[in-house]
Structure 1
């Protein structure tokens, strides 16, 4: 994780993942998947909606659905107890 990512988290941004299902014009019967991930602000998701607006303007594909997952907390990494002794001299 970069320093920029930590600063963004302290400002309220949280990791957001979007599953974007779409149809391409050259294969309209084939549903395809694109996964997008970025730090964003809930509940408005400005970065995600800016990306979807770019998609609408620039990419020749029709959106089918978008599923959003959002991690809402800064928390320590998981740790577990280890049975043993470490001698430090």
Structure 2
């Protein structure tokens, strides 16, 4: 995806979303494996993540165990804070 398109998506409200997907290994169902997925997605519905998970359940043998999701807006207003200390360098 081009940087220009990513910027447009971020301005439309997409956020950097990371999902930790735990799934059962097909040959050893008692063993869990971790997969990290990251993409720009729209919180709180996460349509891109849901499409990926739908693909996973249709096409991949590893049965899903759990999914943890975190997201953060990359573009936002600047923060302004006052400091409590002042240091002068000569």
Query: Are the aligned partners of 2:16 and 2:74 in contact in 1 as well (CA < 8 Å)?
Result: no
In structure 2, the partner of 1:60 is: 61
TM-score under structure 2 normalisation? 0.78
Aligned match of 1:70: 71
- Distance in 2 between the 1:55 and 1:76 partners? 36
In the alignment, structure 1 residue 19 sits paired with structure 2 residue 24? no
- Give 1:73 deviation, angstroms: 5.0
Structure 2 unpaired stretches of 5+: 79-87
Q: Which residue of 2 aligns with 1:8?
A: 9
Could you tell me which residue of structure 2 aligns to residue 80 of structure 1?
A: none
Please list every run of at least 4 consecutive aligned residues from structure 1 whose deviation after the TM superposition is greater than 3 angstroms: none
Residues 29-86 of structure 1, C-alpha deviations (whole Å, 9 max, x = no match) = 2110000000000111000000000000000011110000010351489xxxxx98xx
Please state which structure has a larger fraction of its residues in strand: 1
Q: Distance in 1 between matches of 2:77 and 2:20?
A: 26
2:15·2:40 contact (CA, 8 Å) conserved in 1? yes
Q: What TM-score do the two structures reach when normalised by structure 1?
A: 0.79
Q: Offset of 1:12 from its aligned partner? A: 0.8
RMSD between aligned residues: 2.4
